[in-house]
Structure 1
């Protein structure tokens, strides 16, 4: 077991890769009574085409199957795992993203028993055709609920424009038609390929004795047999800037129009984990400088009533893709979109990009980061979902401190390109 001390943030991380390939990380937190654990597989909604374990040909599975599999994992032949966690004083949950599926629990007692339950139920699949058919109705209702959410539909409308061929634009839960195709055999196919310990990581944070906790995990995993697993081969459609849908309009159940501008990352990112983390941090700082609530650009748009408190922006970076989006509710959608594109395309010479503003925003980012380390849930979720090689969430003090104006300009040069931009307008249905 390796021990790494992060003196600047007073944290000590213990890590070990077990013989079966499972990557384990433990973060003891003094003064906390709760323990939070996250068991994550590097498998999400975009992983639809792959070579199954033991096969030479690629297969394509139905949209939404990773999310469907997550739901089915909690149902076993002898009952519902949620009830077992409840009896042991724990709160359990799970979630699926574009690239990850995570199972979790939090508890203040019986931590060892709950951790054993977490490991055991995720590593013991049980699917039958009857239970799969029953689940289709439940997930179908969830899909319909999200179909009625304007913000969710807007987000995927942007992804549809930026990634028209890539499965990233498909709802994580799939569609009612796609989940109707899912069989128990499909679930086992995906499970056996992606739920091998070598494709997973376990993170435990909170009250614990790290030596005893690691010993428990080692013993649990040593008692199970796993076949050797070759590297997983995934396949994604090829896309170029020419595939991007520059402008699109959708009509939803909203009272006011919305306008959004998206930027799709076209250039390859650094392969070094630390540089990747620096790149993401620099991008976040750039957009705060350009159109954050303390910028002159934001204040001008607000005073001109182009934006209100619904305005926001986000930069997303994950396995194989990165993009940004900007926008919100507005009575002047065309004017807002044009202004945003103008701000972004002239960013290189923007008067907002000064050493003084960068220094202030870095201090604010640092403060938010240090405060977030008081949340066990935040630590676990960020640590498990970010894929930066040897670099982790706990390197952020050094990363934030290292960002200079030339790094900000670097993001502009490789990311903000007119051919990578899309515009999405959302209008009330009665304007259709």
Structure 2
């Protein structure tokens, strides 16, 4: 077991790679009443085409299978695992993203048993034809529920407008039609390929004693048999730098239109640290201009083009990246036109050293406050780990950024061919 010491943050993380390849990270926070554990596999909704273990040819599995597999792992032949956690006084959950599937719990007692339960249920799959068919109806309902949510439709509609071929454009849960094609064998194929311990990370943070916890995890893993660590071969379609649709809209029963402007980010060939720096700079720049105290926000608000629902976000990963700005608007066409103009105007902007120093201080403050959350630490540590970045080294990266870095970023950021507009418009009686 190795101790990683971060003097600037007064934190220590204990790490060890198990013999089977599982990477374990422990953060001791004895002052906390709660302990949070998250068991994550480097496998998400975009991993649709890959070469299964023991085969030579690649396969393409149905859309939504990673999310479907997440649901099914909680169901065993004789019980529902959620009940196991409830009996142990824990709250359990799981989520699937574009690139990860994670299983988690939080508890204030019986931590050892909860950690064992987390490891054991994820590493012991049980799928039957009958239970798979039953689950299709449940997930189809979930998909229809999200399809009825204008905010969700506007978010995914924007991504679908940005991307031609990349599976990031597919709803994480898949479609009602695509999940009908999922079989028990498909689930086992995906599980055996992506749920090997060598493709997974366990992070436990909270009121734990690191050595005792690491001993428990080590013993748990040594008592299980796994095949040799496989090399995972994933493939993704070629994706142009241009957007799929410059302008697209749908109608829904909403009283006010939802108008979004999307920017397709170019992440090809970037290292994990370059992705991090881009994420930090875009976040700081958007905050400076488009947050409620920003000059662009104020202008949009005064022109009655936006309301308090206006927001923005950037998501960058090795395979894809996007920035989305928007919200409700009574003048959606004018709003999106003006936001696009503002994005192009960023090239002409120059952030002063004084203002950039203030931006950095704000970002550092937000980051330090977030470190008070065990959930944030565990989730983000795992996320950055897959990019080859250490969460606790993010602070020095923020501190190293300069106004010149922001200026250079602005010169290359916004390109017309990478911008798309998507709107959810009110239905009319015509």
TM-based fold match above 0.5? yes
- In 1, the alpha carbon distance for the partners of 2:79 and 2:39 equals 21
Offset from partner CA, 1:182-213 (integer Å, 9 cap, x none) = 11111001000000011100000000110111
> Contact 1:53–1:229 (CA<8 Å) still a contact in 2?
no
Q: Give the Cα separation in 1 of the matches to 2:354 and 2:337.
A: 28
- The match for 2:319 is 320
Q: Given the alignment of the two structures, is residue 90 of structure 1 paired with residue 90 of structure 2, yes or no?
A: yes
Alignment of 1:22-421 (within 5 A): 22-242=22-242, 244-271=244-271, 273-350=272-349, 353-387=351-385, 389-421=387-419
- Once the two structures are TM-superposed, the CA of residue 295 in structure 1 deviates from its matched residue by 1.6
Structure 1 length-normalised TM: 0.96
| Partners of 2:75 and 2:201 in 1: CA distance | 22
Between stretches 60-69 and 291-300, larger displacement belongs to 291-300
CA–CA distance in 2 between the matches of 1:277 and 1:124? 35
For the residues of structure 1 that align with 2:111 and 2:289, how far apart are their CA atoms?
46
Give the length in aligned residue pairs: 430
Deviates more, 1:416-425 or 1:387-396: 387-396
Q: Does the aligned pair in 1 maintain the 2:267–2:321 contact within 8 Å?
A: no
Say which SS state the counterpart of residue 43 (structure 2) adopts: coil
TM-score by structure 2 length? 0.97
Alignment partners' CA distance in 2, 1:279 and 1:239: 20
For residues 263 and 424 of structure 1, what CA distance do their matches in structure 2 show? Answer: 11
Distance in 2 between the 1:416 and 1:243 partners? Answer: 13
Distance 1:269 1:341, change over 3 A: farther
Shift in alpha-carbon separation, 1:187–1:267, aligned structure 2, 3 A:
closer
Residue 78 of structure 1: CA displacement? Answer: 2.1
Cross-structure match for 1:427: 425
Q: Which moved more, 1:59-68 or 1:410-419?
A: 410-419
Aligned CA-pair RMSD: 1.5
Q: What CA distance in whole angstroms lies between the structure 1 residues aligned with 2:395 and 2:57?
A: 45
Q: Deviations over 1:70-95 (max 9, x none)?
A: 00001111211111111111111111
Distance 2:251 2:383 in 1: 33
SS in 1 for 2:325: strand
1:399 positional shift: 1.6
| 1:340-395 C-alpha deviation (Å, 9 max, x unpaired) | 111111212225x2222222222122112111111111111111223465432212
CA separation in 2, counterparts of 1:317 and 1:387? 14
Q: Report the CA distance shift for 1:39/1:267 in structure 2 as closer, same or farther (over 3 A).
A: closer
**CA offset at residue 262 of structure 1?**
0.7
8 A Cα contact 2:243 2:419, kept in partner: no
The CA deviation string for residues 256-310 of structure 1, in whole angstroms up to 9 with x for no partner, is 1122111101352532x33332221111111112222222111111111111101
Distance in 2, matches of 1:306 and 1:418, equals: 22
Segments of structure 2 that go 5 or more residues without pairing to the other structure are none
How far apart are 1:242 and its partner, in Å?
4.3
User: What CA distance in whole angstroms lies between the structure 1 residues aligned with 2:253 and 2:390?
Assistant: 41
Runs (4 or more) in structure 1 with deviation over 3 Å come to 387-390
* Farther off after superposition, 289-298 or 139-148: 289-298
Whether contact under 8 Å (1:94, 1:101) holds in the other structure is yes
- Residues 3-34 of structure 1, C-alpha deviations (whole Å, 9 max, x = no match): 11112222111111112111111111131111
Q: Secondary structure at the match of 1:180?
A: helix
Structure 1 stretch displaced more, 409-418 or 118-127: 409-418
Report if aligned partners of 1:244, 1:420 keep a CA contact under 8 Å in 2: no
Cα distance, 1:179–1:137 mapped onto 2, change above 3 Å: same
Note if contact 1:35-1:205 (Cα within 8 Å) is conserved in structure 2. Answer: yes
